[in-house]
Amino acid sequence: MLSAHRPASLLLACLLALALPNSPGAEAKEPRPAKLKRLDSAHTIPDEATWRRLAARTESSAFARTESVKFLLDLESRRRLWFTDTERYPYHYYFAIERLSGPGRPVKEHDLFNSFEYRDAGRRFEMGTITHYLDSGLWTLELSSSDTLSGERILRLYETLRAALWIGDRLRFRPLSDLQERNLAAVRDRLPLANTEEVFAGIRYQPLTTGRTFGHLRIVRGPLDVATVRADQILVLEQLPEEIPVNAGVISAELQAPLGHIAILCANRGTPNMALREALNRPDWAALDGQLVELVVGSQEFSLRPADPAEAQAHWAKRRPKSIKVPQLDPAETRLLDVNSLRLKDTRFAGAKAAQLGEASRIKGLVTPGGFVIPVAHYLAQVRASRALDDLPARTAAADFIADSKVRAQWLQQVRTTIEAHPVDPQLVQQVAERIRATAPGSRWILRSSTNAEDLAGFTGAGLYRSIRIKAGASDADIATALRGVWASVWQQGAFEERAWHGVDHAAVAMAVLVQPFVDGAVANGVAITANPFTEDRPGFLINAQVLGGSVTGAGGNEIPEQHMIYTFTDQFEFEVLSRSSRSGGQPLLTEADLQKLAPALQKLHSHFLWRWPGSANAVDAEFLIAGEDRHVVILQARPYTVSYKRLKVE
């Protein structure tokens, strides 16, 4: 066992001891039109002023910089059309029960209203939303993703709305589900359509973690040198890195994968994070480079302005997170254990990733890849034998180490090099090789990190450590090299800085290794969270998927994953397509049949884990594959995740 020490608190104190220069500059947020007196409802929208009196900018929208107006077409009142005050009536039901229910024509109770009025051919109402995507100028008619209207009825509804709106032929129908795509088959040549590719092509601003922060603006062109990042910097990035140390805020010029490692790290830290396509081309921001600024990332808008030093100091004083206590290590267990035999309590020797996958494997009906774990005892033996950490307490307490991230980077590189240069116990290598040959000799394998300082409630550690692939028939030397690489990744700078920020005792951290065969016949990989991150009002699961060879967890490059919402608040799953993969040519990666299999698997994970995890976790973050001719779901990972529903409105 490594000796205990307290470098984290010293480093944290340094990170929060920030300079506060005054800074000139101007508010960067765009002006909004003057607010007009609201309208309760209207039968037509003849001009932009009427639209503004009805429209809402919904803080729970999946897309920023959008305005919308809800409508109801009353088929029992000679197709009378109602456009509603969408701020006052965020759901169709609220307007229907208050304004359109009466003797002889009562509106059903809410649950029955939803199941009947969006799905039944004999419904009283046809309902939907007119959405204006402000950056692209796109105007769309959108129905609930579960709406079963036929193509002919959608076409007639479109024509009714077009005649009632001043925008006329600018209106287009946007299908939100595979069901609606199928229903449109007979009318496609008569109905102007918009697709998700157009929506994403027009996106300028993408909020990922909303919030308010202060820091010194740093515009980074080209790759980011992570060793130069400070906790008081708001980074404007031309390129997304694979990892990012603790910082005050992130603005990327590339769209981000919503469930990628950078997005997850920022969400876990509470670090405001956004993408803005023209971020590097704003003269007003260039004038603020190096200056103290306030950044507000809102659900619909953002602002960046010069900051008051006193206000910034007060904000920084509150930033310090609560210290995370990692599970205590058990170095007594040395056997290579089948991952399916592990349970949550085994985190102490198997690490959280392996223990939680073992726990998931006991859930009836779930498929996991299998494999085995190399306990933390073998990492501790490697560290002791290499003497890589003999100077850990003294080095991390040194003033230059605390003050200078480049000094930390140099020492951490030395630690990794020392661990990787030391020979691995030949007996261990032989045991691992024999286990691989006995289990799946013709398969590629992956050695995955599984520390006791990742995949925890309040500390996900997404992307902090390394996983290394080995080829089929790998030699003993290949296995030893991979093992050393995974072990050494405990001391990557991003991992070190993240642990320091959260007050984790580095000496209490150790690496187990989860050794898994590759899943044969995989056709898509994905990440899901078992909560709706946009609103609590419509419970569901957010799905990101990508073709094999593409990543849903890595850096951006404007690579867009396929995204779905699976809604779980009714008696059957409802599916909404948010985007198609930028690698699939507009074709779906996950079919509705795939989602019908994925949804219950995620529901089982959610039900099994949530009450077993301590702390604030309210969702499961799961990695999965779609594999085989039957396209079955394979769960690769399950870890706690916390969705915050606090929203900031930027006027």
Co-location of 511 and 526 in the same domain: no
Q: At residue 242, does pLDDT exceed 90?
A: no
pLDDT in tens, 252-289: 999 988 888 888 889 888 899 999 999 999 999 999 99
pLDDT in tens, 618-649: 999 999 999 999 999 999 999 999 988 776 66
Phi and psi at residue 431, in whole multiples of 5°?
-60, -45
Q: Which residue has the tokens 């081309």?
A: 281
Which of 177, 201, 225 is the C-terminal boundary of a domain?
201
pLDDT in tens, 228-240: 988 899 999 999 8
The CATH number given to whatever domain includes residue 462 is: 3.30.1490.20
Confidence band for 112, pLDDT divided at 50, 70 and 90: very high
Report the side by side order of strands in the sheet with 522-529. Answer: 574-579, 562-567, 540-547, 522-529, 619-627, 632-641
Mean pLDDT of the chain: 90
Co-location of 286 and 192 in the same domain: no
Determine the pLDDT at residue 245.
85
Q: Is 79 left (phi over 0), alpha (psi -120 to 50) or beta?
A: left
Contact present, 75 and 531 (Cβ < 8 Å) = no
Determine the pLDDT at residue 475.
95
Residue 8 covered by a domain? no
Nearest residue to 288 via CA among 352, 217, 336: 217
Phi and psi at residue 293, in whole multiples of 5°?
-135, 160
* pLDDT (average), residues 219-248: 91
Phi and psi at residue 574, in whole multiples of 5°?
-120, 140
Between residues 559 and 258, the one the model is more confident about: 258
Determine the pLDDT at residue 616.
77
Co-location of 261 and 155 in the same domain: no
Co-location of 69 and 159 in the same domain: yes
Nearest residue to 374 via CA among 340, 412, 336: 336
Co-location of 268 and 215 in the same domain: yes
Co-location of 494 and 536 in the same domain: no
Co-location of 263 and 138 in the same domain: no
Which of 319, 338, 373 is the C-terminal boundary of a domain?
319
The CATH number given to whatever domain includes residue 620 is: 3.30.470.20
Q: How many domains does the chain have?
A: 4
pLDDT in tens, 122-179: 999 999 999 999 999 999 999 999 999 999 999 999 999 999 999 999 999 999 999 9
Distance CA 378, CA 358 (A): 20
User: What is the widest separation between alpha-carbon atoms in the chain?
Assistant: 85
The CATH number given to whatever domain includes residue 289 is: 3.50.30.10
Co-location of 135 and 182 in the same domain: yes
pLDDT in tens, 508-527: 999 999 999 999 889 999 99
Residue 362 covered by a domain? yes
What predicted TM-score, i.e. pTM, was given to this entire model? Answer: 0.85
Q: By residue range, what is the domain housing residue 217?
A: 211-319
Co-location of 545 and 502 in the same domain: no
Phi and psi at residue 471, in whole multiples of 5°?
-75, 165
Determine the pLDDT at residue 411.
97
Residue 23 covered by a domain? no
Co-location of 301 and 408 in the same domain: no
Phi and psi at residue 180, in whole multiples of 5°?
-65, -35
Residue 272 covered by a domain? yes
Co-location of 504 and 376 in the same domain: yes
Contact present, 185 and 202 (Cβ < 8 Å) = no
Residue 82 covered by a domain? yes
Determine the pLDDT at residue 648.
66
Q: At residue 366, does pLDDT exceed 90?
A: yes
Which secondary-structure segment (H or E) carries 487?
helix 476-488
Which of 517, 534, 561 is the C-terminal boundary of a domain?
517
Confidence band for 16, pLDDT divided at 50, 70 and 90: very low
Between residues 560 and 475, the one the model is more confident about: 475
Residue 22 covered by a domain? no
**Residue 113 CB partners (closer than 8 Å, separation 6+):** 93, 96, 97, 107
Q: At residue 1, does pLDDT exceed 80?
A: no
**Residue 213 CB partners (closer than 8 Å, separation 6+):** 234, 248, 249, 271, 272, 294, 295, 296, 315
Co-location of 79 and 188 in the same domain: yes
* pLDDT (average), residues 61-87: 95
Determine the pLDDT at residue 34.
64
Tokens of 308: 């008051």
* pLDDT (average), residues 401-413: 92
Residue 143 covered by a domain? yes
Residue 13 covered by a domain? no
- Distance of alpha carbon 240 from its chain centroid, rounded? 15
